[in-house]
Amino acid sequence: NAGVTQTPKFRVLKTGQSMTLLCAQDMNHEYMYWYRQDPGMGLRLIHYSVGEGTTAKGEVPDGYNVSRLKKQNFLLGLESAAPSQTSVYFCASSYVLSGGETQYFGPGTRLLVL
Amino acid sequence: GNSVTQMEGPVTLSEEAFLTINCTYTATGYPSLFWYVQYPGEGLQLLLKATKADDKGSNKGFEATYRKETTSFHLEKGSVQVSDSAVYFCALSVRSNFGNEKLTFGTGTRLTIIP
């Protein structure tokens, strides 16, 4: 049971390049999330998914796209990277409960955009 | 909107000292409250949670009580260890229109324990 895994761990991009971050979970969770973590700002929600084939915008969705073609995978895409997207990206997943559900986080992807 | 305010760090304490990290929140409805911990180079892990007023969450010697009257969820530990050095995030969740719960995080408090 690997939990939540993220690929890659670290990446350097030039402005304008594109890339896809992959998140995978083996806990059969319905819900998956992408966050970015920036100094002094905590974690901010980019996009999330409530099930296979569905996605929704979070707090800071601009410049990102996501897809959830399989229940266990949640992809985050940057079509044209900008220096403002330099950040640490965390994926998380959770299951349905009556309330106060726990989110399980991956180890993070550190992205540097030059 | 929803928001979480936690004490700014960094916080540096000696081993066996008493720890308090303050957290207050603003939310519509009845949120659940969480403390997550992030050890160096790792993702966030749930430390403890409370889902209704007056609940106390506890784990690994840490405690926090959901105080609705003061909208607070302060984290405490009676005797900290070097291994407690990490970044601590206070968070709240409210149920979205899709039925899942969306987390709102505080900015994090970096804690360093010196031997």
All residues of chain A having their beta carbon less than 8 Å from the beta carbon of residue B105 are 42-44
What is the chain A residue with the closest CA to B93?
A: A100
Task: Mark yes or no for CB contact A43/B43 under 8 Å.
Answer: no
Phi then psi for residue A78, to 5 deg, are -115, 115
Give the pLDDT mean for A89-105.
79
Residue A71 clears pLDDT 90, i.e. is over it: yes
Give the C-alpha separation, B90 to B107, whole Å.
Answer: 8
**pLDDT tens digit sequence for B17-68:** 999 999 999 998 788 999 999 998 888 999 999 988 999 999 999 999 999 9
Phi then psi for residue B47, to 5 deg, are -95, -50
Q: For residue A39, what pLDDT is reported?
A: 84
Report the mean per-residue pLDDT for chain A. Answer: 91
Joined together, the tokens standing for residue A55 give: 């996605």
Q: For residue B100, what pLDDT is reported?
A: 65
The structure tokens 């409370």 sit at: B50
- What are the beta bridge partners of residue A4? A25
| Residue A98: pLDDT band with limits 50, 70, 90 | very low
Cα atoms in the Cβ-side hemisphere of radius 13 Å centred on B17:
16
Task: Mark yes or no for CB contact A43/B89 under 8 Å.
Answer: yes
Residue A77 clears pLDDT 80, i.e. is over it: yes
3-state secondary structure of A98: coil
The nearest CA of chain B is from the CA of A60 a distance in Å of 13
A50: left (phi over 0), alpha (psi -120 to 50) or beta: alpha
**pLDDT tens digit sequence for B59-115:** 999 999 999 999 999 999 999 999 999 999 999 988 766 666 778 899 999 999 999
A67: left (phi over 0), alpha (psi -120 to 50) or beta: beta
**pLDDT tens digit sequence for A3-55:** 999 999 999 999 999 999 999 999 999 899 999 999 888 899 999 998 899 99
* Amino acid code (one letter) for B11: V
Task: Mark yes or no for CB contact A42/B102 under 8 Å.
Answer: no
Cα atoms in the Cβ-side hemisphere of radius 13 Å centred on A64:
27
Judge contact between B64 and B57, C-beta under 8 A. Answer: yes
Number of Cβ within a 10 Å radius of residue B1: 7
What is the chain B residue with the closest CA to A43?
A: B105
* Amino acid code (one letter) for B81: Q
Give the C-alpha separation, A62 to A73, whole Å.
Answer: 21
What is the chain A residue with the closest CA to B37?
A: A105
